[in-house]
Amino acid sequence: MNPQSGQGAFDRFIDVIEVTAAGFLAVVTLLVFVSVFLRYFFAWSIPDSYDFTRLLLGILIFWGMAVASYRGDHISVDLLWTVAPPAIKRTMDVFSALVTLLAMATFTYMFAEKVLGTRADHVGTFDLRQPVWIYYLIAWIGLASSILLLVLRTLRLVFWPERLAAAREPHSAE
């Protein structure tokens, strides 16, 4: 822990992932706004704006999945969890984290194969023929980050559940 900031290295890493996902959201929003503005007022479009928006949106989703997986902010059904005693709740949390980790690890592995296949096939954007695999690689880095964050979440659920609760408090909307 860094005594000055009150955050450890993992918490700073989580913050970097969150800021990166937010940055991609800002870029996608700006690109769509500028593209619509130019098309509506000047009858001109940015070359490959559709491809860039589509690829950046995929990157945004994958980086956002990393944050949502760690925070536990994804959609869940808590019918049994809410009525269970604390020990059972913790067991259910660890089990669900492990299942999510396994699914994300499989997804990350399969997407790595997609990145390599796209690179080998020399797939490019429509207008500028920019290589698409670079965008896929950036999206894959977001997926790989989700693996790290899910491992961290699982470890915190098992050994330090109070750290996981404390990590959620500054980001709470309440």
pLDDT digits (tens, 9 = 90+) for 89-111: 888 888 988 998 999 999 999 99
The answer to whether the CB of 161 falls within 8 A of the CB of 64 is no
- pLDDT tens digits, 142-162: 999 999 888 988 888 888 877
Distance CA 71, CA 22 (A): 15
Domain spans of the chain, in order of start: 9-75+82-168
Q: Which residues have a Cβ under 8 Å from the Cβ of 44 and sit 6 or more positions away?
A: 38
d(CA 170, CA 12) in angstroms, rounded, equals: 13
Q: How far apart are the first and last CA of the chain?
A: 26
Stated pTM of the model:
0.79
Phi, psi for residue 126 in degrees, rounded to 5: -70, -55
Are 107 and 30 within 8 A, CB to CB? Answer: no
18 vs 171, residue with greater confidence: 18
DSSP 3-state of 50:
helix
**Residue 119 — pLDDT band, cuts 50, 70, 90?**
very high
